[in-house]
């Protein structure tokens, strides 16, 4: 990196808003390793000798992600995870974070168990007041439409101040978007805001399908829209916001490096883009590192990141009073 120290520090100190983040994917590897050891689980096959998560390619990443959730078996485990994750976010000066939380991993789709997990998680979030946390209930696509429906039932039961959205991650090539429309319809009826991973492994048609069939306001990734100039123009003319995770795309091999990544081209074309980490320790990243690498590659400065953060605030799924409070924080902390 050729970024000068002063700019790097300036970017580190800027307040940030992150919209695309998976709570289990943010688990520090040491946290999972220690928890597994305490529970007598052998997870040595998912770590490198120097203690990082070990995977090759997207499908193995999904396997390792799921394996790493094995020791997370109780609300108390998720409370401890939440504290660890928020401490890390606070270090990057993230003031607002929306994290994906999956009922499949938190109680196996049972509504009462899910509510216990959420209560523990919310209580833990209160112990890190530097970061305002909100949850997006998430279906895992390769678990199928029936599990997505269970996730939607949990979402309906918990929609409110803390649970503000419904989304779907997992293997984008499993099933069709329209298979998940009933789950999304249920979430929408519960007043939840909607997002879906699309255009990460699928091409531009996946982005179109997510918008058409699931009626999402935001797209997780969406970067492969760049392959269709007409879609880029449509996105630029719409209110749809992309949750772009450049470090994730490079670590998983969607693009070879940041110079080849379309975020700058999408932004220049008028598409509303935001920046997130996705699963930070898996991709050796933080929000500060994402901003610093973008600055280094595309010459963006603090004013560009302040504008991206405004877009993120605008696209956040929280209620108006929370947005107003965040706006005040941005005004007082912006550097
Ligand atoms: N779950 C966690 N990270 C993901 C990603 N990058 N794509 C799809 N599903 C995910
Ligand atoms: Zn993701």
Within a domain: residue 89? yes
Tell me which H or E stretch contains 206: helix 204-214
- pLDDT tens digits, one per residue of 193-245: 999 999 999 999 999 999 999 999 999 999 999 999 999 999 999 999 999 99
Check which CATH number belongs to the domain holding 277 and give it: 3.20.20.140
From the CA of 27, the nearest ligand is 1
- Catalytic residue status for 200: yes
- pLDDT tens digits, one per residue of 142-177: 999 999 999 999 999 999 999 999 999 999 999 999
- Cα angle vertex 299, ends 296, 303, to 5°? 110
Exposed/middle/buried for 58, CB within 10 Å: 0-12, 13-18, 19+?
A: middle
pLDDT of residue 72: 98
Cα gap 31→63, rounded to integer Å: 18
From the CA of 98, the nearest ligand is 2
State the residue range of the domain holding 98: 5-27+72-325
Ligand 1 within 6 A of CB of 98: no
CB atoms within 10 A of CB 85: 30
Within a domain: residue 58? no
Residue numbers in the chain where pLDDT is lower than 70: 334-335
Provide the number of structural domains found in the chain.
Answer: 1
- Cα angle vertex 30, ends 28, 36, to 5°? 110
pLDDT of residue 1: 79
- Report which ligand 1 atom has the smallest distance to the Cα of 22: 2
Within a domain: residue 312? yes
- Report which ligand 1 atom has the smallest distance to the Cα of 282: 3
pLDDT of residue 333: 83
Within a domain: residue 62? no
Within a domain: residue 55? no
Within a domain: residue 258? yes
Within a domain: residue 37? no
- Report which ligand 1 atom has the smallest distance to the Cα of 201: 7
Within a domain: residue 10? yes
21 C-alpha to ligand 1 centroid (Å): 9
From the list 18, 88, 200, 290, the catalytic residue is 200
Average pLDDT over the chain, rounded to an integer = 97
């Amino acid at each position: 990196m050729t970024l000068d120290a002063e700019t790097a520090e300036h970017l580190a100190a800027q307040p940030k808003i992150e919209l695309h983040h998976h709570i289990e994917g943010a688990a520090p590897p040491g946290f999972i390793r220690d928890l597994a050891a305490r529970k007598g689980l052998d997870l040595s096959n998912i770590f490198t000798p120097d203690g990082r998560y070990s995977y090759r390619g997207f499908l193995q990443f999904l396997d390792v992600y799921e394996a790493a959730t094995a020791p997370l078996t109780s609300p108390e485990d998720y409370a401890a995870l939440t504290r660890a994750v928020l401490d890390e976010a606070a270090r990057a000066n993230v003031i607002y974070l929306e994290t994906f939380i999956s009922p499949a991993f938190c109680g196996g789709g049972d509504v009462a168990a899910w509510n216990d997990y959420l209560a523990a998680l919310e209580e833990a979030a209160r112990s890190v007041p530097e970061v305002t946390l909100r949850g997006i209930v998430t279906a895992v696509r390769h678990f199928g439409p029936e599990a997505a429906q269970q996730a939607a039932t949990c979402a309906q039961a918990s929609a409110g101040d803390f649970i503000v959205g419904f989304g779907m991650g997992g293997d984008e090539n499993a099933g069709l978007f329209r298979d998940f429309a009933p789950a999304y319809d249920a979430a929408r009826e519960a007043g939840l805001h909607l997002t879906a991973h699309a255009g990460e492994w699928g091409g531009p048609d996946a982005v179109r399908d997510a918008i058409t069939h699931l009626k999402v306001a935001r797209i997780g990734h969406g970067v492969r829209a760049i392959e269709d100039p007409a879609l880029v123009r449509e996105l630029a003319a719409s209110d749809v916001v992309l949750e772009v995770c450049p470090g994730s795309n490079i670590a998983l091999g969607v693009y070879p490096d940041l110079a080849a990544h379309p975020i700058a081209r999408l932004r220049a074309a008028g598409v509303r883009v935001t920046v997130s980490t996705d699963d930070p320790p898996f991709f050796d990243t933080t929000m500060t590192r994402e901003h610093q690498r973008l600055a280094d590659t595309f010459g963006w400065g603090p004013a560009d990141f302040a504008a991206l953060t405004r877009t993120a605030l605008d696209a956040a799924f929280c209620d108006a009073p929370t947005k107003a409070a965040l706006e005040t924080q941005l005004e007082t902390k912006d550097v």
